[in-house]
Structure 1
């Protein structure tokens, strides 16, 4: 079996309508040498049935990684998905983010040793999110400003995310005041770097757990590169029943500690710090583990 150039991890939870749209968007990619790993945080049977029904029509390999529903455990399922990735380069996005046709290619072409890539998203209102069909995705109508405006989209500077390419996108990437952080909906990096910091901290639930991963990568010496106007995805609207202030405050404290202590390794990540056999088997940096003791 040929090893893909990129492993794309897509997180999901009980959102079959949105996930279907997202998977069709990966079938429209200009770059074909990738696999998709679905990181499923305990969805109902309907999600598995959707994936199985779509397999025959998808041009890429797809792996469905699932665990039981024990509340918001996105970090944990993402770590499990990381272990399934065949490529040495990882792109992370969400099951509510439709990828433009050049999305994977943009990440592939901009990858660079010593860096991770930081993208953003364009948030759509619920009315337009529901209107988008498979044909709109394959034909890329949903990324066309005129089409979107005909469906009620208002004018905004943010619309530049949709029609910027070439020099314009490079200029906007350069001047944007937004930090180039690791954003779980649109970021990529080398698997060896993510392993080096032991993946995501599974004690963190909703609210900045993806950015904390990026902060540990930066503590490791990995720099971030801004591509928010180059790697474009549409964020479909939805409720956030899992959002709560207690979780956000807890994560804020963890992130503060990570930055203050310049922490690299988390004891609550992909592997247990004491499981040296597994660390060696998966090529985790034993030296990093010893440094954190």
Structure 2
């Protein structure tokens, strides 16, 4: 089972560096990490070059021009480019606990996707984590919300992971999908731009296709670095796409990942120095 981690980023290079460091410290390393970049500036490219010098596995940087928030397109490009059988979707502000990849692998199941959770950090803890890459959130760390999500309890996690079609708490910051399932759904709907609902719309189509959800609680832990929220969108046009998908029981979207497959018929370049390929 080859695992690709697809990290979505936009103009927060300090956070991205911490996320990449956390992935390099995993007890089970991913086979590939793709940073899919929604138009960041040169500072992010500099982080990628610096990290590439020591990163332990295949590392890819996909960049697209900054033309508004095009998260669906960015994620679809990573899906198209992925060489893994299984894709973990992770946001560029999510610092992974050392068992994150191993836990996702343990809970991967045919005809299911995995919905992970997150610990929320406040501004003070986020500043500490950005300044010092050894700082991690634990149950007793000040400055966190959803404290229960710091607890790694695999036996309890198995109880929570019963397949369902629950619609609450869908978030693409921590998700695992089989790549073949994402291709069957045609990935994210790129007609949905701006903030929100593109992950819920994807999952709605997955449910229509018979793919169920496994909640990953008390495993695959990650800490979300604080930033101002963009959730309070009034009359979000993406809601209408979601409503149409549910009304028509759609499985595939028209404007999806298939338009990027030809571009990545050959895997994109590993940006690490050539001699580091021996490490992977």
Classify the TM-score, shorter chain.
Answer: 0.7 to 0.9
Query: What residue number does 2:138 align with?
Result: 144
Shift of 1:167: 2.6
Shift of 1:231: 1.6
Flag the 1:49–1:97 CA change in 2: closer, same or farther, 3 A.
same
Unpaired segments of 5 or more residues in structure 2? 267-280
Cα RMSD after superposing both structures: 2.7
1:190-241 per-position Cα deviation (integer Å, ceiling 9, x unaligned): 1111001111001112111012111111111111111033121100011356
CA distance in 2, matches of 1:203, 1:212: 11
Q: Give me the TM-score of the superposition, normalised by structure 2.
A: 0.85
- State whether structure 2 residue 176 is matched by structure 1 residue 188: yes
Decide whether the 8 Å contact of 1:201 with 1:213 is kept in 2: yes
Matches for 1:246-261 after TM superposition, within 5 Å? 246=235, 249-261=236-248
Q: Give me the TM-score of the superposition, normalised by structure 1.
A: 0.82
1:148-187 per-position Cα deviation (integer Å, ceiling 9, x unaligned): 13xx45xx6x31211241333344566xxx7466521111
Secondary structure (helix, strand or coil) at the match of 1:18 reads: helix
Pick aligned residue for 2:96 from 94, 99, 106:
99
More moved, 9-18 vs 255-264: 255-264
Query: What residue number does 1:217 align with?
Result: 206
Query: What residue number does 1:45 align with?
Result: 42
CA distance in 1, matches of 2:132, 2:251: 44
CA distance in 2, matches of 1:15, 1:215: 30
CA distance in 2, matches of 1:245, 1:104: 36
In terms of fraction of residues, the more helix-rich structure is 1
Query: What residue number does 1:268 align with?
Result: 255
Secondary structure (helix, strand or coil) at the match of 1:218 reads: helix
CA distance in 2, matches of 1:135, 1:41: 26
Shift of 1:93: 0.6
Shift of 1:253: 1.5
* Structure label with greater radius of gyration: 1
- State whether structure 2 residue 3 is matched by structure 1 residue 6: yes
Secondary structure (helix, strand or coil) at the match of 1:39 reads: strand
Flag the 1:186–1:231 CA change in 2: closer, same or farther, 3 A.
same
Decide whether the 8 Å contact of 1:200 with 1:269 is kept in 2: yes
Moved segments of 4+, more than 3 Å: 133-137, 168-174, 178-182, 240-244
